[in-house]
């Protein structure tokens, strides 16, 4: 006689007669004797919102975990205002990511965003959110800060009681632990995510700072790295706009910026130093009387860089470098500025792209653009 089985009405899996829940999807399949199963009508199946195969698959995904600082201490009205604004930001930040490639979970005082296709999107979305959060003013509602944490690890997707996709696994659990170590408006990432990002592009190594080993409430150790560009974002947003910029009338750059400005930094060829630049920044040799916004020192040959060597501008979604004419500053000569081996004309804007090789009086830098 063939053994009795129970067919799950949710996913169609064949289960042993004594089982009360499906071994695949955990759907309730009855707790009565197998001999009485024919007398009991099965519970109606939940509507399918995800392929049945997804529950069997393990994803190696990046998870961005977000918590609103001090959410539980706010009044109910304030919580509603914060969550409305927060949900709107999440929706806009995820616009370009296809729905099958992501899972969004509301955690009450924040959210968990899982990226199934491109793990690096977790970092891109975090930067988009921080741009807005850092620009919020305390005098205007809603004002709030975020804790941010990212992890790369295994997850499984299942259907919850509301027939929506839910996420289980160490990937999201560790992300929640990492965010618990963060300070307000600080982005921390796990070692697994850090190693992935750096393996894809070694130049990104300078964007992270090792924060040591943290122990969670379950006495499990986690290595965390701080994403340093958060500080650059804060500088970019809070930096006062200059009332007048030298040489601006002759640059030919039209200022018409409606979208957020991508962050740019120069990486020294030796890889030991990075120099973040902002719109309107003047770069030059470090000197008490130099007047440069970004001052270069401790690099071989930096003594040949002028005290005000070049300026950076952003217009029409494009970064530009403008070599400064030293004659206008009363000097007798202008040391060269080259881009990808081509000498640049002084006083003229030249567009910059990620990966460009920039030489200031022979000192080599690489242009890094983080969008």
pLDDT lower than 50: segments of the chain:
1-2, 31-46, 48, 52-53, 236-252, 254-255, 257
Check: CATH 3.40.50.2300 for 243-370? no
Cα first-last separation, the chain: 66
Contact 153, 59 (CB under 8 A): no
Residues 6+ apart with CB under 8 A from 36: none
Please report the pLDDT score of residue 54 as a whole number.
61
3-state secondary structure of 356: coil
Burial 158-175 (b: 16+ CB within 10 A, else e): ebeeeeebebebebbbbb
Sign of CA dihedral 160, 127, 87, 257: negative
Q: Which residue has the tokens 């990226």?
A: 115
53-232 to CATH, choices 3.40.50.620, 3.40.720.10, 3.30.70.1230, 2.60.120.10: 3.30.70.1230
CA distances to 29, 72, 153, 170 from 66, rounded to whole Å, are: 36, 14, 17, 17
**Domain ranges across the chain:** 1-45, 53-232, 243-370
Please report the pLDDT score of residue 32 as a whole number.
40
Alpha helices in the chain (DSSP H): 76-93, 121-135, 170-180, 191-200, 229-238
Please report the pLDDT score of residue 259 as a whole number.
59
> For helices 121-135 and 76-93, what crossing angle results, to 10°?
130
**Dist CA 215 CA 60 (whole Å):** 23
Phi (first) and psi of residue 195, to 5 degrees: -65, -35
Calculated CA dihedral for residues 260, 99, 120, 280, nearest 10 degrees: 0
Q: Which residue has the tokens 């129970």?
A: 6
Please report the pLDDT score of residue 287 as a whole number.
85
The H or E element that residue 214 is part of is strand 208-215
* pLDDT tens-place string over residues 256-293: 545 567 778 888 887 557 788 888 989 999 888 778 88
**Dist CA 15 CA 5 (whole Å):** 6
Please report the pLDDT score of residue 16 as a whole number.
63
| Identical fold, 53-232 and 243-370 | no
Please report the pLDDT score of residue 78 as a whole number.
93
The first and second tokens of residue 270, run together, are: 């030796």
Contact 349, 251 (CB under 8 A): yes
């Amino acid at each position: 006689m063939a053994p009795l089985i129970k067919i799950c009405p949710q996913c169609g899996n064949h289960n042993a007669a004594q089982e009360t829940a499906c071994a695949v999807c955990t759907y309730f399949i009855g707790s009565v004797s197998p001999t009485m199963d024919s007398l009991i009508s099965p519970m109606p199946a939940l509507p399918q919102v995800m392929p049945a195969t997804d529950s069997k698959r393990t994803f190696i995904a990046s998870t961005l975990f977000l918590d609103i600082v001090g959410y539980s201490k706010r009044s109910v009205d304030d919580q509603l205002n914060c969550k409305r604004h927060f949900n709107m930001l999440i929706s806009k930040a995820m616009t370009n990511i296809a729905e099958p490639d992501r899972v969004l979970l509301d955690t009450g005082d924040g959210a968990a965003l899982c990226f199934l296709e491109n793990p690096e999107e977790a970092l891109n979305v975090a930067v988009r959110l921080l741009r807005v959060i850092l620009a919020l003013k305390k005098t205007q509602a809603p004002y709030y800060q975020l804790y941010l944490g990212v992890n790369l690890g295994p997850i499984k997707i299942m259907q919850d009681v509301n027939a929506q996709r839910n996420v289980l696994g160490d990937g999201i659990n560790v992300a929640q632990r990492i965010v618990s170590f963060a300070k307000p408006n600080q982005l921390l990432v796990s070692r697994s995510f850090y190693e992935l990002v750096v393996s894809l592009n070694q130049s990104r190594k300078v964007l992270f700072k090792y924060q040591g080993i943290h122990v969670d409430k379950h006495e499990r150790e986690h290595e965390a790295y701080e994403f340093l560009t958060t500080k650059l974002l804060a500088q970019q947003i809070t930096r006062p706009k200059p009332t007048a910029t030298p040489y601006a009338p002759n640059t030919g750059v039209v200022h018409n910026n409606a979208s957020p400005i991508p962050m740019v930094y120069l990486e020294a060829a030796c890889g030991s130093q990075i120099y973040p630049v902002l719109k309107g920044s003047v770069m030059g040799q470090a000197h008490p009387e130099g007047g440069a916004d970004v001052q270069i020192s401790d690099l071989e040959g930096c003594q040949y860089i002028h005290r005000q060597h070049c300026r950076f501008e952003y217009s029409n979604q494009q970064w530009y470098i403008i070599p400064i004419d030293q004659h206008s500053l009363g000097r007798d000569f202008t040391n060269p500025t080259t881009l990808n081996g081509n000498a640049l004309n002084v006083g003229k804007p030249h567009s910059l792209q990620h990966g460009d090789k920039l030489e200031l009086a022979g000192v080599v830098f690489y242009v890094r653009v983080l969008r």
